[in-house]
Amino acid sequence: MLKTLPKSPKHKSPVLPDGTSIDDLINVDMREVQLRVMADKDLYDLEMEKIFSKTWVLLGHESEIPNEFDYMVREMGADQVIVTRGKGDEVNVLLNVCPHRGMRVCTAEAGNKRTHKCIYHGWAFKTNGDFLGSPVAKEQMHGDMRPKSELGLTKANVKVYGGLIFANFDADGQTFEEYLGDMKWYYDMLFCRTDNGLEALGPPQRFIINANWKAASEQAAADGYHTITLHQWLGEFGGFNEGDIEASMMGVEVTSRTGHALRCQPVANKFKKLAAGFDSMTLEEKLELLPPPGVTKEMLPQLKNHLDPEQLALLVDQPPQVGGMFPNILIAFIYAPQPDGTILGLTSLHSYTPRGPDKLEFTNWIFAEKDAPQEMKDRIRKVTTGMLGTSGMIEQDDSDTWPHMTRNAKGPMGKNVTLKYQAINSLPRPKDWPGPAEAYDGFTKDDTQWNWWLRWYDMMTAE
């Protein structure tokens, strides 16, 4: 059973202008959260300061900026940043705010530039953010009160992990390794398993939903319970788990106080006919029958070069398929049955970028292994777009619920209703489970999402 940890002495519950504290909004002992959190403007401003300027945020994939001097503009909470490719493999993340008068330096969403020049007064910067100079050099219009070394764009800490680009503005905060914690063992199985890794199949899809970012993000923390109702059609018409969608919510869920979570689902349960006798097969026979999502049979030897035997066995028998990373990432590595009887592996990541207390930007990346044949990539992109894209059948379901929750959070009565996470796992850790972190078997419970809220609580009350 997951345990509620005592509050650290370093925690202090901030108080909103109306006198409400964070401790008033989240009842740690009862595992309840006031619905008000899904629409409160003052709370939203605090989240931008306490969470999105303090933790690691996913911005994209390095395959989106493959060439020297490529750049793309993305969001870190309420701050806009420029993600640039410098010389070689150098990736920089720069605050898109000119230090002269606050203008946005990059006004396009993407492109290729050797230097970035502000359209307002012409201050220019290198791809690493260093200040180059300003027009009318003889007049020294940048002044002489600060050296040029202090006039560059604000730089974030950057980590490229499995090709994914993460950034963090908190120089004294968690290292990326601390951020992933025990869950890295599982994420390595998904993002760091082949020689050349993943590539993004084109620019991500992006659109605005009239909902609070937390409505989507806490669901991403491996909430499987909603699937049997909201996505019931997956079993009835989609053929998932041979029609038994409730059984597909059985498995081992792994989670930690980091707020990250994954649901590991047994392949033999998911495809009973295809996997007849699966448990008695050798590892090589299982890999040949049903390679991990997105991996061709030709790539199978690469898995052994990057994963230890326990990781590889789990990836074959009971792979992580759906889950999330705190604060706002959904991970989907799923098997999709096709009309011709084949199984296609889909790889997709969503981020839910805050755009206000009642707006989020939904971003969907579609991935395939770089070494996969083009025909397979084209098929993956088409099927993933129809299932998990911004107009996909699954996401149409999910994105319909979040605005309702956000609207209800604005009502004088509705805002006091509490979100409840009281379906608590009572089973011991599965025997011989190979991976780290907290793990429990059986039907999906609320513990994964509650750990997400505990991480939110930790960050919101940290001094």
Q: Give per-residue pLDDT as tens, 219-263.
A: 999 998 888 887 776 666 555 555 566 766 789 999 999 999 999
pLDDT reported for residue 2: 42
Tokens of 225: 């319970």
Q: Are residues 125 and 81 in the same domain?
A: yes
**No. of helices (H) and no. of strands (E), the chain:** 14, 22
Buried b (16+ CB within 10 A) or exposed e, 23-49: bebbebeebbbbbbbbbbeebbeebee
Q: What is the spatial distance between Cα 253 and Cα 201, in angstroms, rounded to a whole number?
A: 29
Q: Are 348 and 362 in contact (CB under 8 A)?
A: no
Tokens of 134: 């300003």
Q: Are residues 140 and 207 in the same domain?
A: no
Q: Are residues 287 and 429 in the same domain?
A: yes
In this model, does residue 360 exceed pLDDT 60? yes
In a domain, 300, yes or no: yes
Strand 205-209 and strand 198-200: the pairing is unpaired
pLDDT reported for residue 205: 94
Distance of CA 267 to the CA centre of its chain: 24
pLDDT reported for residue 137: 85
Residue 294 belongs to domain spanning = 181-460
In a domain, 24, yes or no: no
Q: Lowest-confidence range among 105-109, 139-143, 362-366? A: 139-143
Q: What is the spatial distance between Cα 218 and Cα 106, in angstroms, rounded to a whole number?
A: 32
In a domain, 1, yes or no: no
Q: What is the DSSP string of 118-167?
A: -TTT--EEETTS-EEE-SSGGGTTT-SSS-GGGSS--B-EEEEETTEEEE
Mean pLDDT, the chain, rounded, equals 91
In a domain, 426, yes or no: yes
Q: Are residues 108 and 230 in the same domain?
A: no
pLDDT reported for residue 287: 86
**What percent of the chain is modeled with pLDDT above 70?**
93
Question: Element (H or E) spanning 333, and its range?
Answer: strand 329-337
- What CATH number is given to the structural domain containing 292? 3.90.380.10
What letter represents residue 344's amino acid?
L
Distance of CA 27 to the CA centre of its chain: 26
In a domain, 52, yes or no: no
From the number of C-beta atoms within 10 Å of its C-beta (0-12, 13-18, 19+), residue 122 rates as middle
In a domain, 378, yes or no: yes
Question: Element (H or E) spanning 453, and its range?
Answer: helix 447-460
What letter represents residue 174's amino acid?
Q
Q: Are residues 188 and 166 in the same domain?
A: no
pLDDT reported for residue 228: 85
Beta-bridge partners for 82: 73, 94
Q: Are residues 305 and 202 in the same domain?
A: yes
Rounded mean pLDDT, 414-439: 96
Based on the structure, what is the number of domains in the chain?
2
What letter represents residue 268's amino acid?
A
Tell me: the pLDDT tens digits for 162-219?
A: 999 999 999 999 999 999 999 999 999 999 999 999 999 999 999 999 999 999 999 9
What letter represents residue 228's amino acid?
I
> Which pLDDT band, with edges at 50, 70 and 90, does 310 fall under?
very high
pLDDT reported for residue 280: 84
In this model, does residue 106 exceed pLDDT 60? yes
- Which of 328 and 239 is assigned the larger pLDDT? 328
Beta-bridge partners for 230: none
- Which of 232 and 73 is assigned the larger pLDDT? 73
Length of the chain counted residue by residue: 463
In this model, does residue 8 exceed pLDDT 70? no
Q: Are residues 349 and 449 in the same domain?
A: yes
Which of 173, 193, 219 is at the close of a domain? 173
pLDDT reported for residue 297: 87
pLDDT reported for residue 244: 67
Q: Lowest-confidence range among 8-17, 232-241, 378-387, 440-449? A: 232-241
- What CATH number is given to the structural domain containing 112? 2.102.10.10
φ and ψ at residue 335, rounded to 5 degrees: -95, 130
Q: Are residues 354 and 328 in the same domain?
A: yes
> Which pLDDT band, with edges at 50, 70 and 90, does 398 fall under?
confident
**What percent of the chain is modeled with pLDDT above 90?**
75
Between CA 115 and CA 124, with CA 121 as vertex, the angle to 5 degrees is 20
Question: Element (H or E) spanning 227, and its range?
Answer: helix 227-230
What 388-394 contacts at long range (C-beta under 8 Å, 24+ apart), as own/partner pairs, is 388/332, 388/346, 388/348, 388/350, 388/364, 389/205, 389/364, 390/205, 390/206, 390/207, 390/362, 390/364, 393/233, 394/231, 394/234
In a domain, 8, yes or no: no
From the number of C-beta atoms within 10 Å of its C-beta (0-12, 13-18, 19+), residue 338 rates as exposed
In a domain, 32, yes or no: no
Q: What is the spatial distance between Cα 461 and Cα 25, in angstroms, rounded to a whole number?
A: 12
Q: Are 303 and 189 in contact (CB under 8 A)?
A: no
Q: What is the spatial distance between Cα 402 and Cα 211, in angstroms, rounded to a whole number?
A: 5
The number of C-alpha atoms within 13 Å of 112 and in the hemisphere containing its C-beta is 8
Rounded mean pLDDT, 286-298: 84
Q: Are residues 113 and 227 in the same domain?
A: no
In this model, does residue 315 exceed pLDDT 90? yes
Which of 157, 173, 189 is at the close of a domain? 173
- Which of 236 and 292 is assigned the larger pLDDT? 292
Which of 131, 146, 173 is at the close of a domain? 173
pLDDT reported for residue 65: 97
Q: Are residues 190 and 148 in the same domain?
A: no
Question: Element (H or E) spanning 263, and its range?
Answer: strand 261-264
pLDDT reported for residue 409: 98
Rounded mean pLDDT, 148-166: 97
Q: Are residues 106 and 224 in the same domain?
A: no
Q: Are residues 235 and 153 in the same domain?
A: no
pLDDT reported for residue 26: 98
